[in-house]
Amino acid sequence: MKKRSSLLDREPPGWLSGLLIVGTALTILYFENKRPLRKPRQDKIRRNVRNLFMSVTTAATIRASEKPLTGYLMKVGEQRNFGLLRMFRMPVWLEVLLSVVLLDYTLFVWHYLTHRVPLLWRLHQAHHVDLDLDASTALRFHPVEMLLSAPWRGAQVFFLGISPLALSTWQLLTLLEIMFHHSNIRLPIEFERKLVRVIVTPRMHGIHHSIVQKETDSNWSTIFTWPDLLHGTLQLNIPQEQITIGVPAFQGPKEMTIKEVLKMPATADRPSRRPADNGKHERNRKDLTVSKVRMVA
């Protein structure tokens, strides 16, 4: 048990995580330029600077709020032998795998809540108002949303009985996956149709960032596709060229500045504050002859 416990207390080497993150980011950047999925609507340099600033703010907020809380709760859970996965004896690899699956599913639930709870949506829309979608959008979040997500992450860790190894593995996989599925890469359609059976892909997540609410209210998954399959919220049959990225109430370039995005949760409410079907953006589902779970180019 001591050996097993010591393995679970370890985290992947920092150099390995850094290498994977940088390697993935550079690969995505290369293919976003070589094989773009959607045409950009904003000045790329200004947008990337804004998104980089918000990403750094996001990372700093997570490090300052979430990391100390999850670290403390993991220690408490270990001392009290508390948490779902601590109820069972299993090999380390299986515990890490189950941890990743359970953390991914409970993140699916949190993502759903950020669209359903009005306060959380006001914060989460800072992520959705981006008029373009690529890897730079992946960590573009309002810092207050990150503060409010810390207790949820703490609850995930505590009640599921997550180890340091499992948590750091899941966090790394989540970061790599959100960079990938937010990316603006046009994958070969047959390859992506196979890939989306297992993990979230760029075309799948692009539909979630549509301004049409029926499309925004689908494809909530982060790493694995199965939570959307389980809940009947998987939607793949919307062509990317028919999708307008963003939120209906915020479609002007002047509303995309860092100042405007950060103060957005406190501004007066607007019509179509939440993504909604309206006018030209509505799609008649009877006209969609392709199965809802059949990906189209």
- pLDDT per residue, tens digit, the chain (297 aa), is 444 566 777 777 888 899 999 999 999 999 999 999 999 999 889 999 999 999 999 999 999 999 999 999 999 999 999 999 999 999 999 999 999 999 999 999 999 999 999 999 999 999 999 999 999 999 999 999 999 999 999 999 999 999 999 999 999 999 999 999 999 999 999 999 999 999 999 999 999 999 999 999 999 999 999 999 999 999 999 999 999 999 998 888 888 899 999 998 887 566 544 444 444 455 544 444 456 778 887
**What's the chain's Rg over C-alpha atoms?**
20
pLDDT of residue 284: 47
Q: Which two tokens stand for residue 2?
A: 């001591």
Q: Could you please report the per-residue DSSP string of 7-76? A: HHT----HHHHHHHHHHHHHHHHHHHHHSBSS---S-HHHHHHHHHHHHHHHHHHIIIIIHHHHHHHHHH
**pTM of this prediction exceeds 0.85:** yes
Residue 228 has a CB neighbour count (10 Å cut-off) of 22
Token pair, residue 208, equals: 């979630």
Burial class (CB in 10 A: 0-12, 13-18, 19+), 277: middle
